[in-house]
A and B are shown apart, each in its own frame.
Chain A
Amino acid sequence: MVDTSGMSGHQIHGAGLEHVAEGRRKAGRLLMRAASALLIIVLLIHVLNLTGVIGFGFENWRPILFAYVLWSVALCVGQVFTRGELGYRALFVLPAVLFTVAMVIFPTLFGLYVGLTDWNLSSFDGRKFNGLDNFRTMFQDAFYWNALRNMVIFVLAVLIEYGIAFMLALLLSAQIRARKFFRVVFLLPFMLSPVAVSWMIGKSLLEFRFGPAATFARFLGWESPAFFGAPWIARISITVMDAWIFIPFVMILLLAGLQALPREVLEAAKVDGANAWQSFWRITFPLMLPVSLTAIILRIIFKLKLADIVINVTAGGPGGATDTVTSFIFREYRDRSNVGYGSLLAMFYLVLIIIVLTLLLSFARRRVERVT
């Protein structure tokens, strides 16, 4: 199942590839086979019972869940028995893989299937398989493509957020007083729930008439500070609110990266006469690239799911300028109960994101490797 024979660069080498006794190996295989058989039998009984072939069985699918857990344990033990040290290594990653697969396999497959059906929850006939019809509808759906275009803009804003977060991380890693205070304070926005942010900030703080932000904007000379009145201003306001929540998240990851930088290198740069700016661009920034990559990828993924704030504050307006893919799917799926089509939109979005992220990651990794 999990093969740990290939060896590479900075990973742990050859130790522990000793021979495993034949008896242990046999016992391990037996255990795994028995557990598999049990799982299959339990599954078979339930399926036969559900289809009415046999007259006995279980009330629900829970026994299958227990059988799966048992099988997982047996698999883990079996790996150790049959493959010794390699089995022990597999043991690290197996629980997470088995857990994730168990949790997502049904929802993903079911979601995929639903995506290929015509299923309006209000419909009397229930699901109807309709092949690629949803797919065709999608290509003519102006709302969806508009939302995708908006997403490109929103995602590009991640770079600015990253810049700000980096600056904050640099500030916090400088020699400052009250460091603990600033660190905790800078982390606070991440803790407020998006629903609360939409209302307490979007609909209260930024309110046109009484919001302190609007009052302040008037003070600065903006006569009618409608933060959500025109397309670009609305996009910026939404981005700012979302950034306010997530900059701390990026900041913490970067700050950690900064703290971990080897001091000698920075000091060596100083001795060489580099000024702060040069040492940042030549040393700090390149060394931070791997951490930055993780931070940006995670942030982009969160950004791609941007919805709560948009739904509550602008409902996608004005005229669709702030509509996001997730908020559009939200309307299609929840408000209009158009579950089949909504699922397909989400699946297509997933595929699109995976392709883009894969390209981005491989491109970025190559650059990172070259620089470091």
Chain B
Amino acid sequence: MTAQTANDTLSAARGTDMRRVRLQLLSVRVFIYSALIVWAFVALFPIYWTVTTSFKTAVDVTQGHLIPWVDFIPSWKGWRSLGLSPDTIFQTSTVRIEFLKRFANSTIVSVGASALAIVIGSLAAYGLSRFPYKFGPLRNKDISFFFVSQLILPPVVLALPFLVLYKGLALLDTRIGLTLLYTLMVLPIVIWIMRDQFMKIPIELEEAAMVDGATVWVAFLRIVMPLALPGMVAAFILALVLAWNEYFFAALLTSTNATTLPVMVASQTGSQGINWWSMAALSAASIAPLVLVGLFLERFIIQGLMTGAVK
């Protein structure tokens, strides 16, 4: 074989290679996009179903009608039952008053709890990721595990002891009581997520600052916090969703003043069947603020949890 032919075969091979690579790239693209679209459908369809159900009469639900104006005529049924449809919005409506009160409570309690959990959880996570603690026989990983183990007990069982405790502390049916409880509930998640975050931030940054004479707290607040802030936003959103949807404690520990939305959603069923439309409307109305939060803060979630990429 001469050098010439060898070269020819090589370039020919390269040509087919290029084609194959391009073909491969194309098929990878096709695969990626079809997978994305399939999953987007899986994620969206039930939500689409929920939102459209709030505009359906019973017969449209029980016959599985799917597309508005094509196989059913949308009506304001679900929203009217909440007093939130165009024709009822200016009339008195006990349901709307109740809904708005609960909406406000849910907002105050879940935002308050998430914020509190972020503050004390981030501090703890930073400590656990940077300094070795000894708490009796417990080391750092034991302390982390202590926090996460608070998540394990089913709330059904904890609710009654909390009823007794809160009765003693006069915290029953108060927003502050519920806020503290939800803080406890989301704290472990915040700590675990933030601990991973802080571990990814190179320690040299703080050491450099401390060589310049900064204390640990100054180094934390000035150097680490800004880097981890987006991560906190991400943890905040996850905490917010969990607190927003909490049901068992709310059902037992609130009466009049601190009632939240999930109990009202559950109220749409009972021994008299179910009001599909109003449950759908309530579900849609209570997911809406979370979606908005998600839309506005989404980039923080992703950036947030990727602070390690700061190099």
Contacts and interface: CB of A to CB of B under 8 A. Distances in A.
Direct A–B touching, Cβ under 8 Å: yes
Interface of A: 1-8, 10-12, 15-16, 59-62, 65, 85, 88-93, 95-97, 99-100, 103-104, 106-108, 110-111, 114, 167-168, 171, 174, 176, 180, 182-197, 199-201, 203-205, 207, 209-212, 215, 244, 248-249, 252-253, 255-257, 259-260, 262, 290-291, 294, 297-298, 301, 304-305, 307-308, 325-326, 329-330, 333-334, 339, 342-343, 346, 349-350, 353-354, 357-358, 361
Interface in B176-196: 180-181, 183-184, 187, 189, 191-193, 196
B64 A89 contact: no
Nearest to A179: B302
B17 interface: no
Interface of B: 32-33, 35-36, 39-40, 42-47, 49-50, 53, 61-64, 66, 120-121, 123-124, 126-135, 141, 143, 145-158, 160-162, 164-165, 168-171, 180-181, 183-184, 187, 189, 191-193, 196, 199-200, 203, 206-207, 210-211, 215-217, 220, 231, 234, 238, 241, 244-245, 247, 262, 265-266, 268-269, 274, 276, 279-280, 282-283, 286-287, 290-291, 294-295, 298-299, 301-309, 311
A231 B247 CA distance: 28
Contact of A88 (B46, B215, B295, B298): B215
A149 to B, nearest CB: 18
A88 B134 CA distance: 15
B280 A200 contact: yes
A326 B152 CA distance: 11
Nearest to A264: B311
Contact of B152 (A197, A205, A350): A350
Given A60-B168, A93-B123, A184-B298, A290 B150 contact: no
The 9 closest A-B pairs by CB, nearest first: A256-B305, A92-B127, A260-B308, A259-B306, A96-B124, A210-B64, A107-B161, A196-B283, A193-B245
Contact of B63 (A3, A106, A195, A210): A210
B283 A215 contact: no
Given A12-B131, A95-B123, A171-B36, A200 B158 contact: no
Given A187-B301, A196-B265, 6 more contacts: A4-B132, A114-B161, A171-B35, A210-B64, A259-B306, A260-B309
A191 B193 contact: no
